[in-house]
Structure 1
């Protein structure tokens, strides 16, 4: 059952298409995204995120920054040790913040 030259050429062409087409499509997408990139917009978004982060963690009084201390609730001073790793966790939590082991309530 010999393949004709036309059928062989078709199979080779189809194989090359399957191998090369995804790479070419990816490169075209990459170039298109690069051409649409707006560096000024990215920089403004980065500055806005930094300003939001800074304003949520500190206030400025005059020229000296003052750190914001969240209100401490009644359970903030109470801790429970994780039975797996011994890390101190707040009481009432289900899983350890360090090893993610289950903490059984006493």
Structure 2
């Protein structure tokens, strides 16, 4: 049974669409996400990671000097006021 030229062209076009369309959609999504990224936030995270690498400590945020802190009854670590769990030992506050 021979395929007509129109039917063959339709099948080739459908095959190309199935292969090419998801790739184009993914690339469009990727570029959209890159354009929406918060460069200031990315830079702060990168600087924090570099500081933790230099000091050899884990990447754990420390409470700032101006925010009130609460000491953990379990390990004594300082935590921000209003948090439910200790940032060091995860004990309930």
What TM-score comes out, normalization by structure 1 length?
Answer: 0.43
Greater strand share, structure number: 1
What TM-score comes out, normalization by structure 2 length?
Answer: 0.48
Larger RCO (CA under 8 A, 6+ residues apart): 2
